[in-house]
Amino acid sequence: MKPNDENGKLPTEQRPFRVLIISGSNRRQYNCPGVDSKSRTLMLRMAERLPQDWEIDYEDLGNVFTRARIQSCNACASTSMALCVWPCNCYEPNNKAEPDLMWDLDIYSRLDLADAWAIIGPINWYAPTSNLKLMFDRLVCMNGGNPKEDLIGHKDPEKAMALEHSPEWEELSLNHLEGRTAGFFCYGDGGGDEMDEDERPRLLKHKYYFDPEQEPFEDERCAYAPLVWQSRYSGIEVPDRLWRYAQIGHGKKYSDNQAEDIKSEPNFYQEFDAWIDAFTDFVRQKGKVQPSKYRAYGYKAPGHKLADLQLLWRNTRMQLGVPPKDSSVAQQQQAGLNQDIRLDMKKGEGEILRE
Q: What is the DSSP string of 166-205?
A: SHHHHHH--BTTTT-EEEEEEEE-TTTT-B-TTSSBTT-S
Helix (H, G, I), strand (E, B) or coil at 255: helix
Helix, strand, coil abundance in the chain, percent, nearest 5: 40, 10, 50
pLDDT at 216: 85
**Prediction pTM value:** 0.94
- Bond before 167 cis per omega within 30 degrees: no
Whether 198 shows a pLDDT value over 80: the answer reads no
- Mean of the pLDDT values across residues 172-191? 95
Average pLDDT over residues 155-173: 96
> Read out DSSP for 201-235?
BTT-S-GGG--GGG-S-SSGGGGGHHHHHHHHHTT
Weakest mean pLDDT among 197-201, 254-258, 314-318: 197-201
Band of the pLDDT at 24, cuts 50, 70, 90?
Answer: very high
pLDDT digits (tens, 9 = 90+) for 313-330: 999 999 999 999 999 999
Identify any residues that bridge with 60 across adjacent strands, giving them in sequence order. 23
Topology of domain 5-303, CATH: Rossmann fold (3.40.50)
pLDDT in tens, 29-73: 999 999 999 999 999 999 999 999 999 999 999 999 999 999 999
What is the DSSP pairing of strand 18-23 with strand 243-247? unpaired
Each domain of the chain, given as residue ranges in start order, spans: 5-303, 304-355
**Residue 59 parent element (H or E):** strand 55-60
Average of per-residue pLDDT across 268-292: 97
Q: With cut-offs at 50, 70 and 90, classify the pLDDT of residue 193.
A: confident
Percent of the chain surpassing pLDDT 90: 89
Give residue 144's identity as a one-letter amino acid code. Answer: G
Say what percent of the chain tops pLDDT 70: 100
- pLDDT score recorded for residue 131: 98
**Buried b or exposed e, range 157-193, using 16+ CB within 10 angstroms:** bbbbbebbeeeebeebbbbbbeebbbbbbbbbbbbbe
Taking every pair of Cα atoms in the chain, the longest distance, rounded to a whole number of angstroms, is 67
Measured distance CA(120)–CA(245) in Å, rounded? 10
Q: How many CB atoms lie within 10 A of CB 220?
A: 18
Q: What is the pLDDT of residue 190?
A: 84
- Distance (Å, whole) CA 296 – CA 316: 33
User: Residue 214: pLDDT band by 50, 70, 90 thresholds?
Assistant: confident
In angstroms, the CA 75 to CA 328 distance is 16
